[in-house]
């Protein structure tokens, strides 16, 4: 038997079936939760920097950088939301 075939068979048998639940800590749910926490952390840091800038405690460059990071985070979140809505609408259009 060819070595490539044996390797393919071993990797196929070792892989987790798609219908089986993923182990704790891996998968889409925890990754989505981590992304949401990062998003909230970015917004909180920007808010703190903006508050400090209002009372002259922050560097203006730090404020601009924080605002740019927040803008990027919001644009990414909106893009992901749009893709999810688009996928949902595509599923609704599927014939049953």
* 54-73 per-position pLDDT tens digit: 888 778 888 899 899 999 99
User: Residue 78 has what pLDDT?
Assistant: 94
Domain ranges of the chain: 26-93
Q: For 27, which DSSP code?
A: S
Tokens of residue 77, six digits = 């979140």
User: Residue 21 has what pLDDT?
Assistant: 59
Does the pTM exceed 0.75? no
Distances from the Cα of 78 to the Cαs of 64, 73, 74, in angstroms?
A: 21, 9, 6
Q: What is the mean pLDDT of the chain?
A: 81
**Mean pLDDT value of segment 15-44:** 75
**Mean pLDDT value of segment 38-65:** 88
């Amino acid at each position: 038997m060819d070595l490539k075939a044996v390797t393919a068979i071993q990797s196929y048998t070792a892989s987790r079936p798609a219908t089986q639940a993923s182990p704790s800590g891996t998968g889409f749910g925890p990754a989505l939760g981590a992304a949401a926490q990062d998003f909230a952390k970015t917004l909180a840091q920007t808010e703190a920097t903006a508050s400090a800038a209002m009372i002259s405690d922050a560097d203006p460059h730090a404020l601009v950088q924080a605002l740019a990071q927040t803008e990027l985070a919001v644009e990414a979140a909106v893009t992901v939301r749009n893709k999810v809505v688009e996928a949902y609408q595509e599923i609704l259009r599927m014939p049953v």
